[in-house]
């Protein structure tokens, strides 16, 4: 059974069972694959290098759209213009955090620096955002409904399994963020 | 680095006459813009507060106040600045997974207009 993250002398530490690490690794890999920019033929290599992507479009997948949202509400054109300039580097930032977290999953005991903890919290958040889209969590009521699912012996279908995974990721992120807030307070 | 290159003022072509937004951002960088954070049922309240504290350097009480405003009212203006500044914040917020948008301080529902008293600012977004 996983142990909640806590803040102490060594920094922020946590412990995960091998099966839990395996689960998180596969979730992280899924999110990375969703965020991987598509390489197209005839793309300007210099533009790609500095992060420009003039062929970018608003993502069609709802979960990807939640990870990479429009920056201007109700203005697709202005949002698209912004995507051309920023989306590629945003994808890379997210992938960077997810990869960093995945690397920490090689050991049972997880010991995180401030920066490492930040990457973990971002990675867990993105994993949860994707799971929440798959679970159709649209409002607080939906979230409450999913939250009720806590018993692994009840996991009979994909949805209840996803709900349990979501709740596990939520619990883990909450304990991590509490440790990060404590660390922030200590450093002040 | 990418952002500062990408969002330089000269990337806006002046060819689209009539679009005030392009003109505004060129000639009046002091027009205030808002960074808005929207509520969603996934982001943890503790995480949103942590992001406000660690990224913006807000105190715990200010961060919690803004977080509760997001949670209860559905949205909150958490920062002001030039268009470039709030856009940079928005990308950072998207990096954290928060749902952030930018808007002109004078427009948009619930946007408090502030004291933007510069010359030539009386024009509305839509003529």
CATH of the domain at B89: 3.30.1390.10
Total number of domains in chain B:
1
Q: Does the residue B63 lie in any domain?
A: yes
Give this complex's ipTM: 0.93
Interface touch B41/A138, C-beta < 8 Å:
yes
Nearest to A184 among B54, B96, B103 (CB): B54
Altogether, the residues listed in chain B come to a count of 127
Strand partners, A12: A7, A112
pLDDT value of position A177:
98
Instruction: Work out the pLDDT band at A54, boundaries 50, 70, 90.
Output: confident
User: Best of B1, B2, B108 to disrupt the A interface by mutation (most A CBs within 10 Å)?
Assistant: B2
Q: Does the residue B92 lie in any domain?
A: yes
pLDDT value of position B60:
97
Low-confidence residues in chain B, pLDDT < 50: 1-27, 108-127
Instruction: Please give the Cα distance from A123 to A116 (Å, whole number).
Output: 10
Q: Does the residue B49 lie in any domain?
A: yes
List the single range of A105-119, A158-172, B103-117 with lowest mean pLDDT.
B103-117
User: Best of A31, A69, A178, A180 to disrupt the B interface by mutation (most B CBs within 10 Å)?
Assistant: A69
CB pairs under 8 A between A and B: 97
Provide the domain limits for residue B94: 44-106
Instruction: Work out the pLDDT band at A108, boundaries 50, 70, 90.
Output: confident
Q: Does the residue B114 lie in any domain?
A: no
Interface touch A173/B60, C-beta < 8 Å:
no
Interface touch A122/B108, C-beta < 8 Å:
no
pLDDT value of position A154:
80
Interface touch A177/B46, C-beta < 8 Å:
yes
pLDDT value of position B122:
35
Q: Specify the pairing of strand A109-112 against strand A3-8.
A: unpaired
pLDDT value of position B26:
47
Give pLDDT tens digits for A29-52. Answer: 999 999 998 776 676 777 777 777
**Residue A136 pLDDT > 70, yes or no?**
yes
Interface touch B94/A90, C-beta < 8 Å:
yes
Q: Are B77 and B111 in contact (CB under 8 A)?
A: yes
Q: Does the residue B59 lie in any domain?
A: yes
pLDDT value of position B12:
38
pLDDT value of position A44:
74
Q: Does the residue B65 lie in any domain?
A: yes
Q: Does the residue B20 lie in any domain?
A: no
Element (H, E) at B15: none
Q: Does the residue B36 lie in any domain?
A: no
Joined tokens for residue A137: 């969590």
Residue B117 neighbours by CB under 8 Å, 6+ apart: none
**Residue A21 pLDDT > 80, yes or no?**
yes
Interface touch B42/A139, C-beta < 8 Å:
no
Rounded average pLDDT over A72-85:
95
Instruction: Give the chain B residue whose CA is nearest to the CA of A143.
Output: B41
Quick check: helix, strand or coil at residue A106? coil
Quick check: helix, strand or coil at residue A148? coil
């Amino acid at each position: 059974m996983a142990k909640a993250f806590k803040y102490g002398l060594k920094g922020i530490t946590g412990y995960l069972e091998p099966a839990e690490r395996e689960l998180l690794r596969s979730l992280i890999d899924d999110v990375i694959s969703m965020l991987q920019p598509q390489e197209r033929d005839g793309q300007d290599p210099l533009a790609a290098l500095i992060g420009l992507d003039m062929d970018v479009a608003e993502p069609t997948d709802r979960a990807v759209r939640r990870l990479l949202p429009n920056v201007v509400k109700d203005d697709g054109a202005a949002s698209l213009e912004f995507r051309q300039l920023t989306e590629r580097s945003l994808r890379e930032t997210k992938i960077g955090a997810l990869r960093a977290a995945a690397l920490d999953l090689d050991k049972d005991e997880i010991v995180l620096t401030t920066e490492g903890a930040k990457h973990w919290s971002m990675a867990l958040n993105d994993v949860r955002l994707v799971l929440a889209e798959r679970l159709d969590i649209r409002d607080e009521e939906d979230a409450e409904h999913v939250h009720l699912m806590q018993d692994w012996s009840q996991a009979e279908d994909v949805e209840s399994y996803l709900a349990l995974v979501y709740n596990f990721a939520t619990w883990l992120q909450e304990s991590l963020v509490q440790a990060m807030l404590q660390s922030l307070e200590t450093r002040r | 680095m990418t952002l500062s290159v990408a969002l330089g003022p000269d990337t806006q072509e002046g060819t689209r006459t009539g679009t005030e937004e392009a003109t505004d951002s060129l000639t009046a960088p002091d027009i205030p813009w808002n960074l808005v954070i929207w509520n969603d049922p996934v982001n943890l309240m503790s995480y949103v507060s942590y992001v406000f504290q660690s990224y913006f350097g807000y105190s715990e009480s200010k961060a919690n106040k803004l977080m509760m405003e997001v949670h209860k009212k559905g949205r909150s203006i958490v920062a002001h600045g030039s268009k470039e500044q709030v856009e940079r914040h928005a990308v950072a917020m998207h990096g954290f997974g928060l749902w952030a948008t930018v808007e002109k301080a004078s427009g948009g529902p619930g946007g408090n207009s502030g004291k933007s008293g510069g010359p030539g600012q009386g024009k509305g977004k839509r003529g």
